[in-house]
């Protein structure tokens, strides 16, 4: 029950956010006793209940349903209505046309109207409700709409606006007094007719409920988290005689917990189809550092108010954002920040197994300092060079940052891209990968071996990821570079977890591991061909895959045999570079480091070859950049000698 209690406490602490919405209420923290209701028809009335105007929302191109979502009062019965009995449970104010024309709607509205009449503080609400009551009782809604050229089905939702003297806001769904009037009326009814019990969430003696809110995550339809239905599916039969013997939750606590969860999912969730991953602080400000972003993205979030520091970091090449992130998160010496670390952080994953049932598949509660330490540990042990993504203007940024890849980048490295827009199989696998990575980040579990191997195989097949239609080298190989970087990060974490071995980001020229050395040789072969092409000045050749890249898959499986093939194909390029003395010297230096018999072995390579390939390639790139800065078009070989 801890997740319900934390959500309840979050709602209590965020009371100032209740009802705050700029225009649309879809992402608003709703008052208790209210739901988001889709209404497409807007009726304007005067104080006497006469219609002034009516309009119907135009369905937008990308929307599947007509109308807007508004804050609508509801009862336990009306929120959960279904089947043939649904007609007996209309919403108290806004509803579909077919419900507005029923006697039950008029009876419920009249009871609420009497309550507001007795309470002078709800005078504005009384006038508005009375106008709606007087209008609906005339039964002229369909005729009024037809007169205005509106052809409406009886399943369309209706919202009311009442023009009153001395008031500015006439939209009833936007008036806080109207929310309070319904809440107090409904709580009074519950106190009079409901049974009370000790609420497990609040610890108070309150009227209890056995009916809980649905549509917590709109991507999950009407799925519920809590249900006590035993007339079918046998929710608790065989364990308890009554559902209250299993758990007791008050109406107020259930409403506050579910409204808080609905708000958090709509505004802060990290989503994939019906799965929603949440991290929030049980505090007045629930925003927390996201665990699923990359180091660069989190650093930008943490340091967005410190422009000078961000500019300073941004001017450095290949900056280690994992290091800066640790400083930004833990804020050594910042007493104000250290005090904030006493907050409790909740991490939750919800998912819908069916259209009617939602489950909590993961839940953890940590103190903020522990939460931040686990994030920084992940970003430190899983850091590698990561290629920059597009900036806010949509332009492709060149270069790398040093840090951990985002969960999305790792997921793509493991699964690839989705085949089509609606791909249920892909979504199912993606949800599983995201949850497994969460265990690695927050629970310190070892990186799954199957994910590491899959990423290794995909990174070893660059031709499959080439965008052949692109004439720009960066765009042509961006997908592969992204997966290569993420795969190297996973390799680094894997060897940290399983072999207690650390690999530097910079080239380790003294490392004698066979796989690492073969990776270095592949990078040298790639550099020789790339350099020769660049020297020829053929732009088309500059973006085309080198032989080293083309043979990368075969090289990872049979390095010795493939190296001999590559070596023969390098001869023309070596001649174009006047013997390529510097490169050949590097190859000789690498071969000397092999243990006896390792170079001649043709057994497949593990992930260490990818680390050696990238590190050697990165060093050659850095040398090339320095060469261009210092000598322009001078012969690079001579400079590096």
Q: How confident is the model at residue 561 (pLDDT cuts 50, 70, 90)?
A: very high
- The conformational region for residue 416 under phi > 0 = left, psi -120 to 50 = alpha, else beta, is left
pLDDT at 392: 61
From CA 424, how far away is CA 439, in angstroms rounded?
A: 23
Residue 68 CA: distances (Å) to CA of 58, 146, 293, 343, 386:
10, 21, 32, 36, 41
pLDDT tens per residue across span 367-410: 998 999 999 999 999 999 999 886 666 666 778 999 999 999 99
pLDDT tens per residue across span 572-604: 999 999 999 999 999 999 999 999 999 999 999
pLDDT at 6: 93
pLDDT over threshold 90, residue 202: no
Per-position b or e across 320-349, b if 16+ CB within 10 A of its CB: bbbbbbbbbbbbeeeeebeeebebbbbbbb
pLDDT at 243: 65
User: Please, which residues have CB within 8 angstroms of residue 240's CB and are 6 or more apart in sequence?
Assistant: 246
From CA 472, how far away is CA 482, in angstroms rounded?
A: 16
**Percent share of the chain, pLDDT over 90:** 64
Dump the DSSP string for 163-177.
--TT-S--BGGG-HH
pLDDT over threshold 90, residue 357: no
Residue 417 CA: distances (Å) to CA of 118, 400, 410, 421, 550:
62, 22, 11, 10, 21
pLDDT at 160: 97
pLDDT over threshold 70, residue 36: yes
pLDDT at 308: 47
Q: How confident is the model at residue 204 (pLDDT cuts 50, 70, 90)?
A: confident
Average pLDDT rounded to a whole number, residues 260-270: 94
pLDDT tens per residue across span 292-315: 999 988 888 876 555 445 555 555
* Range from 79-93, 431-445, 484-498 carrying the lowest mean pLDDT: 79-93
Instruction: Give the residue extent of every domain in the chain.
Output: 1-16+194-253, 31-192, 295-498, 514-640
pLDDT at 212: 86
Q: What is the pTM of this model?
A: 0.89
Q: How confident is the model at residue 625 (pLDDT cuts 50, 70, 90)?
A: low
pLDDT over threshold 70, residue 334: no
Q: How confident is the model at residue 633 (pLDDT cuts 50, 70, 90)?
A: very low
pLDDT over threshold 50, residue 638: no
Partners of 483 in beta bridges = none
């Amino acid at each position: 029950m801890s997740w319900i209690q934390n959500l309840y406490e979050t709602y209590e602490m965020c009371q100032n956010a209740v009802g705050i919405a700029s225009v649309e209420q879809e992402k608003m923290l709703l008052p208790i006793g209210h739901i988001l209701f889709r209404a497409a028809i807007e009726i304007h009335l005067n104080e006497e209940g006469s219609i002034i105007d009516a309009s119907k929302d135009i369905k937008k191109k990308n929307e599947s349903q007509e109308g807007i979502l508004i804050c609508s009062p509801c009862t336990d019965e009306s929120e959960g209505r279904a089947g043939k009995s649904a007609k007996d449970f209309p919403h108290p104010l806004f509803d579909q046309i077919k419900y507005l024309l029923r006697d039950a709607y008029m009876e419920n509205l009249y009871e609420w109207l009497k309550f507001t009449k007795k309470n002078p503080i709800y005078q504005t609400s009384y006038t508005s409700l009375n106008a709606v009551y007087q209008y609906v009782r005339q039964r002229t809604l369909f005729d009024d709409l037809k007169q205005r050229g509106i052809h409406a089905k009886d399943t369309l939702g209706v919202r009311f606006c009442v023009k009153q003297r001395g008031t500015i806001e006439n939209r009833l769904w936007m008036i806080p007094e109207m929310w309070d009037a319904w809440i107090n009326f409904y709580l009074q009814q519950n106190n009079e007719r409901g049974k009370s019990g000790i609420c497990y969430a609040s610890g108070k003696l309150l009227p209890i409920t056995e009916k809980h809110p649905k549509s917590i995550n709109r991507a999950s339809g009407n799925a519920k988290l809590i249900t006590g239905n035993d007339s079918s599916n046998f929710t608790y039969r065989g364990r308890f005689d009554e559902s209250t013997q299993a758990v007791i939750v008050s109406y107020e606590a259930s409403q506050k917990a579910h409204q808080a969860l609905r708000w958090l999912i709509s505004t802060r969730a990290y989503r994939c189809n019906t799965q929603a991953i949440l991290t929030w602080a049980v505090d007045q400000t629930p925003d927390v550092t996201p665990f699923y972003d990359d180091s660069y993205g989190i650093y930008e979030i943490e340091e967005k108010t410190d422009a000078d520091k961000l500019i300073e970091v941004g001017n450095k090449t290949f900056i280690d954002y994992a290091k800066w992130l640790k400083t930004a998160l833990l804020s050594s010496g910042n007493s104000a920040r250290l005090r904030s670390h006493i907050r409790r952080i909740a991490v939750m994953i919800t998912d819908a197994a069916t259209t009617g049932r939602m489950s909590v598949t993961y839940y953890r509660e940590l103190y903020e300092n522990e939460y931040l330490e686990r994030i920084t540990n992940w970003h430190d042990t899983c850091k590698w060079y990561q290629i920059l993504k597009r900036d806010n203007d949509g332009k492709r940024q060149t270069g790398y940052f040093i840090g951990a890849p985002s969960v999305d980048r790792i997921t793509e490295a493991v699964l690839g891209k989705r085949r089509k827009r609606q791909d249920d199989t892909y979504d199912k696998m993606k949800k599983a990968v995201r949850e497994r990575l969460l265990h690695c980040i927050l629970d310190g579990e070892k990186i799954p071996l199957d994910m590491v191997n899959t990423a290794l195989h995909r990174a070893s097949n660059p031709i499959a990821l080439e965008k052949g239609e692109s004439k720009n080298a960066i765009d042509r190989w961006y997908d592969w570079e992204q997966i290569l970087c993420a795969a190297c990060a996973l390799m680094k974490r894997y060897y940290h977890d399983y072999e207690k071995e650390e690999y530097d980001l910079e080239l380790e020229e003294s490392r004698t591991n066979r796989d690492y050395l073969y990776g270095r040789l592949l990078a040298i072969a790639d550099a020789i061909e790339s350099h020769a092409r660049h020297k020829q000045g053929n732009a088309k050749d500059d973006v085309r895959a080198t032989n080293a890249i083309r043979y990368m898959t075969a090289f990872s499986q049979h390095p010795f045999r493939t190296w001999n093939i590559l070596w023969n194909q390098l001869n023309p390029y070596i001649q174009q570079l006047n013997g390529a003395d510097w490169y050949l010297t590097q190859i000789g230096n690498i071969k000397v480091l092999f243990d006896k018999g390792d170079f001649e072995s043709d057994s497949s390579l593990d992930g260490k070859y990818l680390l050696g390939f990238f590190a050697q390639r990165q060093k050659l790139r850095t040398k090339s950049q320095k060469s261009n800065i210092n000598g322009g078009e001078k012969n690079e070989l001579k400079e590096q000698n």
